[in-house]
């Protein structure tokens, strides 16, 4: 029994290096991607707009980013995306799935895509979901607030984060219930090293509109990045509620659950993230440690080996390989 306990004691220091490095990388890679450098237009086969359609966008590789965005009433959408190869898809019942890939790795890192929803043969086209119908709060945004918001978003799209802040503040002054402006202000403040101000802006955004998955995500990342996993749990849990099919939502909650010693919860969310095709192989590391903490060393070893099969080289791979060797050494005693 002592040998098995030693396995956990030996690897815990390596775990915290790996886990919290992963959290910080995630925060750095995602906190500044709320501009509008990826724009799209979705239409139906008759060339009419396809409103309120969910579009999924993501990257592959070691630096994983994923987001979901809905088209507006005119079938348009825009979001910020990292300077990488971006994949996107739309899946709606009775329509052919749309899949695409665009290389945004070269400056100025912009993309504009047009997509058409085609009904499947013999299928009656389902009505495009209207769950994103414009709320009374959105409809009440005055023109001057919208102009300032657009100016602030344009500045962020051009990486002028400091220049975006006055516009977004004017938008909020003109319309205090402008949750989207608070959210974008939080992004700009994060990018200009104004952590406390960003936290206040994101909290205000959520206070006005609790159902904003991106604001919940960013607040969770901010808490995790500043060593407050206990606070990060609530926004990440809400992120999962709002976007249950987002693998990154479950991955983030798995990391925080582990940091809070909730190993069973960490295991559950890591498994769900993998089931939903999380592209970040680090999810196997978090799952491995959650299993190790539950004294399931062989299951943990399997997850570590899955990670190594995807990331055979690099500092993180070296650390994980050392953990596998320690497990083997202790179990063979």
Do 111 and 141 belong to one domain?
A: no
Whether 171 is in a domain gets the answer yes
Q: Which two tokens stand for residue 122?
A: 């013999």
Mean pLDDT of the 79-101 span: 87
> CB of 137 within 8 A of CB of 145?
no
Whether 218 is in a domain gets the answer no
Euclidean distance between CA atoms 82 and 59, whole angstroms:
8
Do 82 and 45 belong to one domain?
A: yes
Domain span including residue 278: 2-28+234-331
Do 197 and 260 belong to one domain?
A: no
Res. 200 pLDDT band, cuts 50 70 90: very high
pLDDT of residue 124: 55
**Digit-coded pLDDT (tens) for 296-326:** 999 999 999 999 998 888 778 888 999 999 8
Whether 128 is in a domain gets the answer no
pLDDT of residue 20: 46
Do 23 and 46 belong to one domain?
A: no
Do 15 and 54 belong to one domain?
A: no
**Digit-coded pLDDT (tens) for 19-50:** 444 444 443 344 334 456 888 899 888 777 88
- Between the alpha carbon of residue 222 and those of residues 170, 203, 236, 280, the distances in Å are 24, 11, 11, 20
Whether 194 is in a domain gets the answer yes
Task: Kindly give the interhelix angle for 2-30 and 282-293, rounded to the nearest 10 degrees.
Answer: 150
User: Domain ends where: 209, 226, 256?
Assistant: 209
DSSP letter for 124, please: P
Do 74 and 98 belong to one domain?
A: yes
Which of 22-36, 37-51, 80-94, 191-205 tops mean pLDDT?
191-205
**CATH number of the domain bearing residue 111:** 2.60.40.1120
- Between the alpha carbon of residue 249 and those of residues 37, 66, 176, 233, 257, the distances in Å are 23, 10, 29, 11, 12
Do 17 and 67 belong to one domain?
A: no
Whether 220 is in a domain gets the answer no
pLDDT of residue 121: 81
Whether 21 is in a domain gets the answer yes
Do 193 and 145 belong to one domain?
A: yes
Euclidean distance between CA atoms 300 and 292, whole angstroms:
5
pLDDT of residue 199: 96
Q: Say yes or no to pLDDT of 102 above 50.
A: yes
Q: Say yes or no to pLDDT of 134 above 80.
A: no
pLDDT of residue 317: 86
Q: Say yes or no to pLDDT of 88 above 50.
A: yes
Question: How much of the chain is in helix, strand and coil states, percent to nearest 5?
Answer: 55, 15, 30
In the predicted model, what is the mean pLDDT of the chain? Answer: 82
Euclidean distance between CA atoms 33 and 95, whole angstroms:
30
pLDDT of residue 37: 81
Do 24 and 111 belong to one domain?
A: no
Euclidean distance between CA atoms 183 and 202, whole angstroms:
5
Whether 280 is in a domain gets the answer yes
Do 17 and 45 belong to one domain?
A: no
> CB of 18 within 8 A of CB of 319?
yes
- Between the alpha carbon of residue 50 and those of residues 97, 121, 255, 312, 314, the distances in Å are 14, 19, 37, 43, 44
**CATH number of the domain bearing residue 267:** 1.25.40.10
* Residue whose token pair is 């895509």: 113
Q: pTM of the entire structure?
A: 0.65
DSSP notation for 219-263: HHHHHHHTT-HHHHHHHHHHHHHH-TT-HHHHHHHHHHHHHTT-H
Do 246 and 288 belong to one domain?
A: yes
Output the CA angle 167-168-170, nearest 5 degrees: 65
Tell me how many domains the chain contains. 3
Do 324 and 260 belong to one domain?
A: yes
Whether 80 is in a domain gets the answer yes
Q: Say yes or no to pLDDT of 8 above 60.
A: no
């Amino acid at each position: 029994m002592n040998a098995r306990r030693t396995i956990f004691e030996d690897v815990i220091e390596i775990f915290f290096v790996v886990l919290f490095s992963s959290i910080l990388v995630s925060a750095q890679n995602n906190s500044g991607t709320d501009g509008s450098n990826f724009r799209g237009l979705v239409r139906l086969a008759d060339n009419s707009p396809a409103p309120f359609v969910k579009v999924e966008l993501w990257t592959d590789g070691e630096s994983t980013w994923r987001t979901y965005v809905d088209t507006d009433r005119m079938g348009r959408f825009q979001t910020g995306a990292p300077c990488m190869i971006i994949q996107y898809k739309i899946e709606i019942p009775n329509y052919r799935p749309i899949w695409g890939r665009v290389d945004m790795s070269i400056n100025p890192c912009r993309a504009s895509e047009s997509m058409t929803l085609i009904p499947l043969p013999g299928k009656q086209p389902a009505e495009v979901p209207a769950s994103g119908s414009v709320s009374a709060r959105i409809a009440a945004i005055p023109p001057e607030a919208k102009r300032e918001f657009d100016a602030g978003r344009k500045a962020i799209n051009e990486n002028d984060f400091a220049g975006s802040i006055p516009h977004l503040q004017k938008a909020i002054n003109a319309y205090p219930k402008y949750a989207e402006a608070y959210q974008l202000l939080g992004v700009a403040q994060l990018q200009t090293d104004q952590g406390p101000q960003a936290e206040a802006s994101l909290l205000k955004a959520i206070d006005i509109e609790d159902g904003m998955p991106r604001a919940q995500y960013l607040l969770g990342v901010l808490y995790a990045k500043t060593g407050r996993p206990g606070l990060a749990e609530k926004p990440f849990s809400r992120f999962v509620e709002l976007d249950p099919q987002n693998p990154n939502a479950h991955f983030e909650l798995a990391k925080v659950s582990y940091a809070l010693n909730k190993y069973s919860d960490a295991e559950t969310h890591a498994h769900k993230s993998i089931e939903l095709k999380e592209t970040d192989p680090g999810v196997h590391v978090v799952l491995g440690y959650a299993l190790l903490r539950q004294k399931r060393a062989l299951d943990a070893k399997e997850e570590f080996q899955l990670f190594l099969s995807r990331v055979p080289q690099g500092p993180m791979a070296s650390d994980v390989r050392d953990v596998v060797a320690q497990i083997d050494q202790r179990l063979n005693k």
